[in-house]
Amino acid sequence: MPVNEHTFDIALRLALALAAGGIIGLERSYHGRPAGFRTHALVCVASALLMLVTAYESLWFNAGPSQRAVIDPTRMAQGIMTGIGFLGAGVIMKDGLSVRGLTTAASIWITAAIGILMGIGFYLPAALATLLTLGTLSVFRWIESMMPSQFHAHHSVRFRLAATMPEADYRALIRAQGFSVANLSYAMNREANYFEYQMNVRTTQHGNVNRLTDTLSKLDSVIDFRISPSGD
């Protein structure tokens, strides 16, 4: 495409998409997320680039005098958002009962939407969306930390087979540390000489995790234990 009056506008849209995606990505990189600065920047630029195909279709598609063609820009947007779903799914990880990466997947999805807005020249909605996204990722994080919330975790503990604590006693020990128990299951391995409890635990005081850790560490009958927070 030769340099013309549209060249600056196209370059501006791509540059703004790069800036918006990079700013959102910096927040994710700061918090150590795998999809960070470069990923979000590329997603936003790619979305803008693909929307330029439809926004400037008259520069590359010329129907003949006897031909009639109708191009629907919204179909490109639908295709972009469908493709972003695969990228978002790649950052969602499941570790036991813990699921992480949901917020990063959502940030990738909205970054693609911002790229689409940049690509079609909707600068004000794109700028507002960028600010709202940054506010959601940062300010809302602070609000969540100030709100009272329950701590959920997957807990497992292994006892020496000959010194296994009865279920009723262990439930009482957990409750004494401020936790409630759900979905308790059992496992036994005679060769490894252990009996294991697995359960979901919940508390409203995060400090109770330290109390439970200290209590279990002092029990000679405990071989090992694990407390895995359920985070997003």
**3-state SS track over 8-71:** HHHHHHHHHHHHHHHHHHHHHHHCCCCCCHHHHHHHHHHHHHHHHHHHCHHHHCCCCCCCCCCC
- Secondary structure of the chain in HEC code, one letter for each residue: CCCCCCHHHHHHHHHHHHHHHHHHHHHHHHCCCCCCHHHHHHHHHHHHHHHHHHHCHHHHCCCCCCCCCCCCHHHHHHHHHHHHHHHHHHCCEEECCEEECHHHHHHHHHHHHHHHHHHHCCHHHHHHHHHHHHHHHHHHHHHHHHCCCCEEEEEEEEEEHHHCCCHHHHHHHHHHCCCEEEEEEEEEECCCCEEEEEEEEEECCCCHHHHHHHHHHCCCCEEEEEEEECCC
Model pLDDT for residues 20-73, shown as the tens digit of each residue:
888 888 887 777 676 677 778 878 888 887 788 777 766 666 655 555 556 666
Per-range mean pLDDT, top range of 26-35, 67-76, 99-108, 188-197: 188-197
Of 14, 46, 21, 47, nearest in space to 107 by CA: 21
The span from the CA of 201 to the CA of 197, in Å, is: 12
State the pLDDT at residue 70: 63
Is the pLDDT assigned to residue 209 strictly greater than 50? yes
Q: Can you give the pLDDT at residue 157?
A: 95
* Average pLDDT, rounded, for the chain: 81
Taking residues 227-231, what's their average pLDDT? 76
pLDDT(2) > 60? no
- Under the banding of pLDDT at 50, 70 and 90, the label for residue 1 is very low
- Each residue's pLDDT tens digit, 110-167: 888 888 888 888 888 888 888 888 888 777 777 766 766 678 888 999 999 999 999 9
Q: Which residue has the higher pLDDT, 157 or 18?
A: 157
pLDDT value for 217: 92
Burial class (CB in 10 A: 0-12, 13-18, 19+), 32: exposed
Q: What is the average pLDDT across 217-225?
A: 92
195-212 mean pLDDT: 89
Prediction pTM value: 0.57
User: Residue 183 phi/psi, 5° resolution?
Assistant: 55, 50
The pLDDT assigned to 60 comes to 61
